[in-house]
Amino acid sequence: MSRPFARITTTLLVSALFATTAHAAPSADGIVVYNAQHESLTKSWVEGFTKETGIKVTVRNGSDSEMGNQIVQEGAASPADVFLTENSPAMVLVDNAKLLAPLSPATTAQVDPAFRPAHGRWVGIAARSTVFVYNKNRLTPKELPKSMLDLAKPEWKGRWGAAPAGADFQAIVSALLEQKGEAATLAWLKAMKTNAQPYKGNSVVMKAVNASQIDGGVIYHYYYFGDQNKTGENSKNTALHYFKQQDPGAFVSISGGGVLASSKHKEEAQAFLKWITGKGGQNILRTENSFEYAVGQGAQSNPKLVPLKDLDAPKIDASRLNSRKTVELMTQAGLL
């Protein structure tokens, strides 16, 4: 009886080990992408890229600041070849640690100069706009806040929501910090702690607005379009308010992509970034259901979106956005 028991155990162990290593370990010729972008969008990019080039891509999913800090700690031995973010601050964090390799000029040239830093160590791969999503039955256009900063006023207490733990909202705060300075930002965040309902995720904020639990919320534009494109069940009572007038709430955030200096597959990694900023990758932004803005030279965004040039976004140097300071201030305000 002892023999079969031992044999079964050994067989199980050995076969499981083989199967797992075969599964989890990235193949020698492929690249590893640390992805903080939406999983579905990156999946479409990866599929298109692999189909065209035959290069395998292993994706690790996470969120902006988590992975940015992770890469910094991993340092020169990071397993990642490429880093994709939803917003710029995490990219800046990695760049400040001198961990990014210069991108090939062919790649940077493909991207509209408004959506990439001049130094060329990372580029924009997509863009998203801050919006105030509101419940049409509870707010008339006249009652809407004129500025995102108005949400700190007492009359908004308990009436709005956001997802403070998410990278998106933190990017909006980092832009506020860059625009208005530390003291004003901390004051606004403290008011937010009193006034706002915290949610886990932007789609949950929109769902709560739709269900009249709150009057409005600060999120990005594409959650609305994505839901409208599906069943609309989480957005049918809502509409989007664009702050415009270069308000902090009109911030347009750049999703970034970069190749790590430590990458052992630089050629493939560069090819991947070239592909997603090129025709194939940017086309996916227009035709598929991500509803993020395209940033390639001359690339068209989804026609359902309000054109980028009409958004009157504040002019902010994306390479100066500071994620650590932002998280510090939010921790100080008790939001984290």
Partner 1 sequence: MAAHDSPTSTAGLRRPGRQVPLWLQGSSLLVSLLALLPVVFIVAISIQTGWNTVVQLVFRPRVAELLLNTSLLVILTVPLCTLLGVTLAWLTERSTLPARGCWRMLAVAPLAVPAFVHSYAWISLLPAFNGVSAAVLLSVIAYTPFIYLPVSAALRRMDPALEDSAASLGLTPLAVFRRVTLPQLKLAIWGGGLLVSLHLLAEYGLYAMLRFDTFTTAIFDQFQSSFNGPAANMLAGVLALCCLGLLWLEAGTRGNARYARLGSGSARQMTPARLGAWTVPALLLCLLSGVLSLGVPLITLGHWLWKGGIEAWQNDSLWPALQQTVLLGLLGAVLTVLAAVPLAWLSVRAVSRLQRLQESCNYITSALPGIVTALALVTITIHYARPLYQTIVTILLAYLLMFLPRALVSLRAGIAQAPAELEQAAGSLGSTPGQALRRVTLPLAAPGAAAGLAMVFLAISNELTATLLLAPNGTRTLATGFWAMTSEIDYMMAAPYALLMVLLSLPLTWLLHDHSKRSAGR
CB 271 within 8 A of CB 53: yes
Backbone angles phi, psi at 171, to 5 degrees: -70, -40
Residue 76, classified by CB atoms within 10 Å of its CB into exposed (0-12), middle (13-18) or buried (19+), is: exposed
* CA quadruple 334, 156, 246, 286: dihedral, nearest 10: 80
Which residue number, 160 or 243, has a Cβ lying nearer to partner 1? 160
Which residue number, 47 or 267, has a Cβ lying nearer to partner 1? 47
- Which residue ranges make up the site for partner 1 (CB under 8 A)? 1-2, 5-6, 9, 12-13, 16-17, 19-21, 23-26, 32, 39, 58-63, 65-70, 73-74, 77, 79, 164-167, 170, 197-201, 203-204, 207-208, 211, 213, 234, 324, 327, 330-332, 334, 336
Residue 296 C-beta: closest distance to partner 1, Å: 26
Query: How many other C-beta atoms are found inside a 10 Å radius of the C-beta of residue 257?
Result: 30
270: CB partners within 8 A, 6+ apart: 103, 104, 107, 259
Which residue number, 147 or 331, has a Cβ lying nearer to partner 1? 331
Report the C-alpha gap between 292 and 168 in whole angstroms.
13
Residue 45 C-beta: closest distance to partner 1, Å: 16
Nearest to 273 by CA among 298, 291, 255: 255
Residue 237 C-beta: closest distance to partner 1, Å: 12
| Three-class SS state of 51 | helix
Which residue number, 47 or 52, has a Cβ lying nearer to partner 1? 47
Which residue number, 167 or 318, has a Cβ lying nearer to partner 1? 167
Nearest to 99 by CA among 117, 85, 87, 82: 82
Residue 334 C-beta: closest distance to partner 1, Å: 4
Residue 307 C-beta: closest distance to partner 1, Å: 26
Residue 110 C-beta: closest distance to partner 1, Å: 28
Which residue number, 136 or 279, has a Cβ lying nearer to partner 1? 136
47: CB partners within 8 A, 6+ apart: none
Which residue number, 213 or 283, has a Cβ lying nearer to partner 1? 213
Give me the residue label for tokens 């832009």.
175
Residue 60 C-beta: closest distance to partner 1, Å: 4
